[in-house]
A and B are shown apart, each in its own frame.
Chain A
Amino acid sequence: MSSISVGSQAHDLSHAGGHAHTQSFLSKYIFSKDHKVIGIQFLFSTLIWFLIGGLLALAVRWQIAWPWTKVPILNHLYAAEGGQMSPEAYTMLFTMHASVMIFLVIIPILAGAFGNFLIPLMIGADDMAFPTLNMLSYWFMWPAFILLAASFFVEGGAASFGWTSYAPGSSNSMTAPGSLNGQTLWLMALICVGISSMMGSVNYMTTIIQMRAPGMTMFRLPLTIWAMFITAILQAFALPVLTAALSMQLMDRLLGTGFFTPEGLTINNQAVAGGGQPLLWQHLFWFYSHPAVYIMILPAMGMVSDIIACFARKPIFGYKPMVYAIAGIAGLGFIVWGHHMFVSGMNPALGMTFMVSTMMIALPSAIKVFNWLGTLWGGKIQFTTPMLFAVGFVSMFIIGGLSGIFMAATPIDIFIHDTYFIVAHFHYVLFAGTVMGVFGAIYFWFPKMFGRKMNEFWGKVHFFFTFIALNCVFFPMHILMGQPRRYADTWHVSVFRHYQPVNEFITISAIVLVSSQITFIINFFYSIFFGPRVGRNPWHANGLEWQAPSPPGHGNFDFQPVVYRGPYEYNSPEVDEDFYPQNQPPPKDRPLVSEEMGH
């Protein structure tokens, strides 16, 4: 059962997508249908927006720590009033920080960049099921980029009613400066992101179900793929509700409907169309946005699992429970959205039901954490940069997950809702969790993407400062008990005035955090051009993607991969090396441990 080498079959495979041999620059690099190029396009775009989102956050943090002082750089915009930010600018900054980070960074980088790049490679396919759709899913992000960037320059500025955009504030103009065209552009941009995600999700589901290499059964898939698959299903079911909600709000704003505004309301001395209910927006929005937060963590969990197994040189502990946990998180994710609305005015009886379901969703996450620890147990751990980030993910996710239990507890949520405890929680799971996972994934799969390795030393420096700084930024937020969110200045609340030194400490740490990313930026771009070249499998990992050239050419594999086992057979007794690629045929003279185990 030796692997089939380059031959006519592989040649046919590489033409399976129907590509012409010679491609223009435009169709090869700009409007490419090659999943790898599209993945890298997503990666570059999202990393640039990551920087923008981070700078927006710095402006927000400056105002919190030193309110009404001259903001660095931005003070030129506000020179007429003395260089201080105006309050509506503050609301705009945090709204756009969140919107950019969620819709233009985290969701596209996980599904768009890594999903695109890795899925065909890891399952042994030559490309996605629908390459043209894939290309469109990237280019549909561009209207979103342009609309959101443009929204800063329209009258009133960008959207400023929070990324949650609660009605009726956001569904009527004149409630806030950013509620003019800025909000409308925001809604249109998000619809574009939704279309892009939907295209991607259809593509991923089909590809994973239909295009796996021979021998790649579902339970031999790497956890990255499982995570991407289940995330794609999540997207498919949740997105339509968001699109509906966004369209309804657009109609409220542009067509004078009143889905979310009650009868007889006057805002800012302007009568608004009525007949609706503000809570409807919240239900629709959170019905999507809660699964969205799982969309924003599951792929990172999958990738972290792969990285940890690789560098612990051990199989994943409890592969099937891990898969079921991912499915459990996704499934339960659909019945917990009300926990964002405990004090919203919805029927309090629902507070009880959502409390129970939200508590239960902590369970699969806990199972995953225990399994990661089990993976580390008894291993031979290599402390490479990707491994540091992956272990960092686990360590930070524990904090984020545990703080979530406070929020699930409805009576406690009465106190901590809309306070910094919540901000701490979601930044732990999103930044300290997902973004750390993303960094790990970038360092890990960079050699496969670009054929060169990133610098290990500077990677570790990046990790070191990022890890320390982000804990200094987000952990102290847990003790800011009761300090309200979205406040330009907390001084007006006497009971929280003495928190100010902590706020200053957080801001200073945030400045350090953003500057530590400079190491990463330099490392990333330098290594693309000047990093040391590597072969196919620099990390000695098991996945199919490491069997393709670095970077893979058109059609990915120069042979037909056939899979014999799962992706986590590290230190297997069947072979002498401490790794055992999925497509390596089993030795003829050794017992087939992997088959006995049913993998």
Chain B
Amino acid sequence: MIVFCKRPLCSWLIGSAICLLLTFAPGCDQSPPPRFHANLVQMDNPDNNVSPKHQQQIADILLAMYGTPDDPFVLPETGLDLQKIKVAAGPVKGYTQGLFRLHCVHCHGISGDGMGPTALFLKPYPRDYREGWFKFKSTPSKMPPTHDDLVRTLQEGISGTAMPSFKLLSQSEIEALVEYVEYLSMRGQTELELINQYKLADAFDPDKEDFPTTREFLVNTVLLGPNGPATLWKETASQVTAVPQPPSDFRTAASVEAGRQVFYNKGGCVKCHGPTALGDGQMVWDMWNESIHKLDQKVADSSEPAKLADLTAALRVDALPPRESEPRNLRQGIYRGGRQPYELFYRLYNGIFPSQMPGIGSTPGMTTDDIWHLVDFILDLPYQPGSQYHSDEHMKAPPRELL
């Protein structure tokens, strides 16, 4: 029994073999390679109501158009560089390969849906790329960011959030990651566009015929349609908002004072940012959380919950609990989109579309000088009495004395 046979050496060998087997057997069982997740919430959204059969077809189409996380693919019409995407995709190998999984996946998720395992515990949630909505960019409203915008975000991070600065990565690594973000975003947008096409084809009938899968349809109608993902991403570079010259009294006390007037009057900032600019005005729903919130309410208010069973399940597994956003506390000296004056100009002129911060660039009676004065005021706020930078009273360590 414990002595497997009479000779110690024999026992020893058999015992060692058993130990080795017990040690290495667990490693033999491997999980399957990761796959992109479907946008279940939108598929099961009662407004869309994609049937299971067509959900599978959409998944197949996306597989053909974009490949898998380990093995990506792009159509040339997307304008994406497959080589760069391949550097960022796939499992981590030697730190030069699989950059997305090395740096990004645990927050942004394998599909770029902002629902990685860490996401639930972050405030605010990480970006969901699938709608193509981004906050900090140089283009207006619904347009995607430019390549440079994304590079800037990676390099500087988004201060005040969990998105760190990746400044210390090499330029080629940043390029690869940006390309991959665009890839994930375009894939998500394609999925939504396919759902949209399904709706347009009046396909509420689950027995309706299958999706067209011709290259012509997929490229011309889906990708390159008027609101198609490839169209939007291609056009974005030409949609960059021009930044005018600031007024001659920019960065003076007079300018700051003029900015204060704009803040309290025609800028309409007090409503959300509060009269003290501490961000204690009304809370706002950003567009990602709002859509989930509305669906939650729909389920809660429904008189036939059984019909919304799929949606309920999707909301549970495929969405994070919705949260309202607080408007920015402007006295902290934390500028999420960057503290350079032109960056603030962009935020004010274009607004931050998905956060529902309105742009004041087209407010009647607002001049670009006014906006620059407002920029000045915002940059000056942290140094005003009552702001955190002004007083370090809570910093208790006294200066060290000479020994």
CB-CB contacts of B113-149 with A at 8 A, as 1s and 0s? 0001110111110000000000000000000000000
Is B151 on the interface with A (CB-CB < 8 A)? no
Contact of B19 with A84 in the complex, beta carbons under 8 Å: no
Is B161 on the interface with A (CB-CB < 8 A)? yes
Q: A79-B32, A174-B121 are in contact. Are A69 and B91 (CB under 8 A)?
A: yes
Complex partner residue of B161 from A78, A269, A518, CB under 8 angstroms: A269
CB-CB contacts of B95-111 with A at 8 A, as 1s and 0s? 10010011001100110
Is B8 on the interface with A (CB-CB < 8 A)? yes
Is A180 on the interface with B (CB-CB < 8 A)? yes
Q: Which residues of B contact A179 (CB under 8 A)?
A: 121
Whole-angstrom CA separation of A89 from B118 in the bound complex: 9
Q: Which residues of B contact A156 (CB under 8 A)?
A: 120-121
Q: How far is the CB of B158 from chain A (nearest CB, A)?
A: 12
Contact of A81 with B121 in the complex, beta carbons under 8 Å: no
Task: Closest A residue to B15 by CB, please name it.
Answer: A519
Q: Which residues of B contact A78 (CB under 8 A)?
A: 31, 117
Main secondary structure of the interface of B (DSSP, over half): loop
Is B76 on the interface with A (CB-CB < 8 A)? no
Complex partner residue of B102 from A68, A176, A457, A518, CB under 8 angstroms: A68
Is B162 on the interface with A (CB-CB < 8 A)? yes
Q: Which residues of A contact B23 (CB under 8 A)?
A: 511, 514-515, 518
Q: Which residues of A contact B394 (CB under 8 A)?
A: 262-264
Is B27 on the interface with A (CB-CB < 8 A)? yes
Contact of A177 with B101 in the complex, beta carbons under 8 Å: no
**Interface core residue of A82, A180, A457 (most chain B CB under 10 Å):** A82
Contact of A455 with B20 in the complex, beta carbons under 8 Å: no
Contact of B2 with A82 in the complex, beta carbons under 8 Å: no
Contact of B123 with A174 in the complex, beta carbons under 8 Å: yes
Contact of A79 with B34 in the complex, beta carbons under 8 Å: yes
Q: How far is the CB of B19 from chain A (nearest CB, A)?
A: 5
8 Å CB interface, A139-165 against B? 155-156
Contact of B34 with A81 in the complex, beta carbons under 8 Å: yes
Contact of B2 with A530 in the complex, beta carbons under 8 Å: yes
Contact of A87 with B22 in the complex, beta carbons under 8 Å: no
Is B26 on the interface with A (CB-CB < 8 A)? yes
Contact of A88 with B118 in the complex, beta carbons under 8 Å: yes
Contact of B34 with A83 in the complex, beta carbons under 8 Å: yes
Is A597 on the interface with B (CB-CB < 8 A)? no
Contact of B121 with A180 in the complex, beta carbons under 8 Å: yes
Complex partner residue of B117 from A69, A88, A269, A522, CB under 8 angstroms: A88
Whole-angstrom CA separation of A156 from B118 in the bound complex: 9
Whole-angstrom CA separation of A84 from B122 in the bound complex: 20
8 Å CB interface, A34-54 against B? none
Contact of A458 with B19 in the complex, beta carbons under 8 Å: no
Q: A73-B26, A88-B118, A518-B19 are in contact. Are A268 and B162 (CB under 8 A)?
A: yes
CB-CB contacts of B8-43 with A at 8 A, as 1s and 0s? 100110010011101100110111111001000000
Q: A79-B34, A83-B31, A83-B34 are in contact. Are A68 and B123 (CB under 8 A)?
A: no
Task: Closest A residue to B400 by CB, please name it.
Answer: A348
Whole-angstrom CA separation of A361 from B110 in the bound complex: 52
Q: Which residues of A contact B19 (CB under 8 A)?
A: 515-516, 518-519
Complex partner residue of B26 from A72, A269, A518, A530, CB under 8 angstroms: A72
Q: A263-B394, A519-B19 are in contact. Are A458 and B2 (CB under 8 A)?
A: yes
Task: Closest A residue to B332 by CB, please name it.
Answer: A266
The range of chain A's interface size is: 35 or more
Q: Which residues of B contact A180 (CB under 8 A)?
A: 121
Contact of A530 with B1 in the complex, beta carbons under 8 Å: yes
Whole-angstrom CA separation of A545 from B104 in the bound complex: 61
Q: A264-B394, A522-B2 are in contact. Are A82 and B34 (CB under 8 A)?
A: yes
Whole-angstrom CA separation of A80 from B101 in the bound complex: 11
Complex partner residue of B92 from A73, A84, A345, CB under 8 angstroms: A84
Q: A75-B30, A270-B123, A515-B20 are in contact. Are A86 and B8 (CB under 8 A)?
A: no
Q: Which residues of B contact A174 (CB under 8 A)?
A: 121, 123
Is A482 on the interface with B (CB-CB < 8 A)? no
Q: Which residues of A contact B109 (CB under 8 A)?
A: 80-81
Contact of B91 with A87 in the complex, beta carbons under 8 Å: no
CB-CB contacts of B72-102 with A at 8 A, as 1s and 0s? 0000000000000000000110010010011
8 Å CB interface, A216-275 against B? 262-264, 268-270
Task: Closest B residue to A349 by CB, please name it.
Answer: B403
Contact of B102 with A264 in the complex, beta carbons under 8 Å: no
Q: How far is the CB of A89 from chain B (nearest CB, A)?
A: 7
Contact of A67 with B92 in the complex, beta carbons under 8 Å: yes
Q: For the complex, count residues of B whose C-beta is within 8 A of A.
A: 49
Is B51 on the interface with A (CB-CB < 8 A)? no
Is A491 on the interface with B (CB-CB < 8 A)? yes
Q: How far is the CB of B99 from chain A (nearest CB, A)?
A: 11
Q: A75-B31, A76-B31, A262-B394 are in contact. Are A82 and B120 (CB under 8 A)?
A: no
Whole-angstrom CA separation of A84 from B30 in the bound complex: 11
Q: How far is the CB of B159 from chain A (nearest CB, A)?
A: 12
Is A414 on the interface with B (CB-CB < 8 A)? no
Whole-angstrom CA separation of A83 from B19 in the bound complex: 26
Contact of A68 with B117 in the complex, beta carbons under 8 Å: no
Contact of B2 with A79 in the complex, beta carbons under 8 Å: no
Contact of A461 with B12 in the complex, beta carbons under 8 Å: yes
Q: How far is the CB of B190 from chain A (nearest CB, A)?
A: 21
Complex partner residue of A268 from B30, B33, B91, B122, CB under 8 angstroms: B122
Whole-angstrom CA separation of A67 from B23 in the bound complex: 20
Is B306 on the interface with A (CB-CB < 8 A)? no
Complex partner residue of A523 from B2, B34, B101, CB under 8 angstroms: B2
Contact of A461 with B15 in the complex, beta carbons under 8 Å: yes
Contact of B160 with A82 in the complex, beta carbons under 8 Å: no
Q: A75-B30, A270-B123, A491-B95 are in contact. Are A518 and B397 (CB under 8 A)?
A: no
Whole-angstrom CA separation of A179 from B22 in the bound complex: 35
Q: How far is the CB of A452 from chain B (nearest CB, A)?
A: 12
Is B69 on the interface with A (CB-CB < 8 A)? yes
Q: A79-B31, A79-B34 are in contact. Are A86 and B121 (CB under 8 A)?
A: no
Q: Which residues of B contact A80 (CB under 8 A)?
A: 34, 37, 109-110
Is A526 on the interface with B (CB-CB < 8 A)? yes
**Interface core residue of B19, B101, B102 (most chain A CB under 10 Å):** B19
Whole-angstrom CA separation of A345 from B398 in the bound complex: 12
Contact of B121 with A177 in the complex, beta carbons under 8 Å: yes
Task: Closest B residue to A88 by CB, please name it.
Answer: B118
Task: Closest B residue to A82 by CB, please name it.
Answer: B34
Q: Which residues of A contact B105 (CB under 8 A)?
A: 81-82, 84
Q: A82-B101, A84-B91, A88-B118 are in contact. Are A72 and B124 (CB under 8 A)?
A: no
Q: How far is the CB of A85 from chain B (nearest CB, A)?
A: 9
Q: Which residues of A contact B397 (CB under 8 A)?
A: 345
Whole-angstrom CA separation of A522 from B32 in the bound complex: 34
Q: How far is the CB of A91 from chain B (nearest CB, A)?
A: 11
Is A70 on the interface with B (CB-CB < 8 A)? yes
Q: How far is the CB of B4 from chain A (nearest CB, A)?
A: 11
Q: Which residues of A contact B20 (CB under 8 A)?
A: 515
Is B48 on the interface with A (CB-CB < 8 A)? no
Whole-angstrom CA separation of A566 from B277 in the bound complex: 79
Q: Which 9 A-B pairs have the closest CB atoms?
A: A72-B27, A68-B92, A79-B31, A515-B23, A86-B106, A269-B123, A177-B121, A82-B34, A86-B117
Chain A residues at the B interface, C-beta cutoff of 8 Å? 67-70, 72-73, 75-76, 78-84, 86-89, 155-156, 174, 176-177, 179-180, 262-264, 268-270, 277, 345, 455, 457-458, 461, 491, 511, 514-516, 518-519, 522-523, 526, 530
Listed by A's residue number, 5 A-B pairs whose Cβ atoms lie within 8 Å are A69-B91, A75-B31, A176-B121, A269-B161, A270-B123
Besides A72-B27, A269-B124, 12 more A-B contacts (Cβ < 8 Å) are A76-B31, A82-B70, A83-B34, A88-B106, A155-B120, A177-B118, A269-B326, A270-B123, A518-B22, A519-B19, A526-B1, A530-B2
